[in-house]
Amino acid sequence: MDEISTLDRPTSGGPGPIRRTALHDTLVNHLRDMIIEGNLEPGTRLHEGQLGEQLGVSRTPLREAIKYLASEGLVELVPSRGAIVKRFSGKDVQDMLTVLRNLEELAGKLACQLASEAEIAHVRALHDEMIRCYRAADRLQYYKLNQDIHTAIVRLAQNATLADIHQMLQTRLKRIRFIGHEGPEKWAAAVAEHEEMISALEARDQARLSDVLGRHLANAWERVRSAL
């Protein structure tokens, strides 16, 4: 029932060279989503035969996708025993957040220096939209926009490597953050921090933006800490 048709292969009808997506690439995204969304829990063995049949693909592209995810750190390869979904310890998560915090602090500094007014306005727009979702208590959309904002700020730093690594950590942590559903009061605090972030960015106040980004993640860390 989870056939190949279910695999969301991008069918962009737009102009330009039509996307010729390879199956292994599609599988990477599909498996990544499955892991993040918890369809594949940590410790689960990725049986090539079974999983391949379930998805309606042969083992070859599946294996290739698994190798890719292994390099991303989402699965672990055990020689002669296949791959298992990596389990992150509390310290692992803390470590990732430490690095993520440092990277966002850096991104904040660079963003203040390099962002154009238009780009900042765009982030502001995302922020306003997010606030709207907050008021509407639309947690899902709020969460998505939240991530988008962080990603957008990192992009402002105009540093591909920084963006890539940030994205990777964000992806790994996404799974964890599904757990950390903060209460209303913490949620309000997070929104306040976001408000300050945008204001610091608009003022191009490097130190303040960097600081609030750091605090923001430190709080996220607190939330996760209590959830584990």
Partner DNA sequence: CTTTTGTATTCTGCATGCAGCATTTTCCGT
Partner DNA sequence: ACGGAAAATGCTGCATGCAGAATACAAAAG
Binding segment for DNA (CB under 7 A), chosen from 52-60, 125-133, 180-188, 202-210, is 52-60
Of these, 16, 80, 117, 183, which contacts a second copy (CB under 8 A)?
Answer: 80
- In the bound state with DNA, the residue whose beta carbon lies nearer, of 79 and 184, is 79
CB nearer to a second copy: pick between 24 and 208? 24
Q: Rule CB under 7 A: which of 66-85 touch DNA?
A: 77-82
DSSP 112-143: HHH--HHHHHHHHHHHHHHHHHHHTT-HHHHH
Contacts of 89 (CB under 8 A, 6+ apart): none
Helical H runs in 5-159?
A: 23-36, 48-55, 59-72, 90-114, 117-135, 139-156
Q: Is position 11 an interface residue for a second copy (rule: CB under 8 A)?
A: no
Mark the segment that binds a second copy (CB under 8 A) among 3-11, 56-64, 140-148, 183-191.
56-64
Q: Which three-class secondary structure state does DSSP give residue 215? A: helix
Closest CA to 146 of 109, 208, 194: 194
Q: Which stretch, 3-11, 49-57, 97-105, 194-202, contacts a second copy (CB under 8 A)?
A: 97-105
By CB under 8 A, tell whether 174 contacts a second copy.
no
Joined tokens for residue 64? 């290739």
Which of residues 2, 72, 76, 193 is near a second copy by CB under 8 A? Answer: 72
Residue 184 found at the interface with DNA (CB under 7 A): no
Asked whether 200 and 208 are in contact (CB, 8 A), the reply is: yes
The answer to the question of residue 22 lying near a second copy (CB under 8 A) is yes
Question: According to CB under 7 A, which residues from 8 to 47 bind DNA?
Answer: 20, 22-24, 45-47
Closest CA to 226 of 194, 179, 193: 179
CB neighbours of residue 192 within 10 Å: 12
For a second copy, the binding residues (CB under 8 A) are 19-22, 24-25, 60, 63-65, 67-73, 77, 79-80, 92, 95-96, 98-99, 102-103, 106, 110, 159-162, 164-165, 169
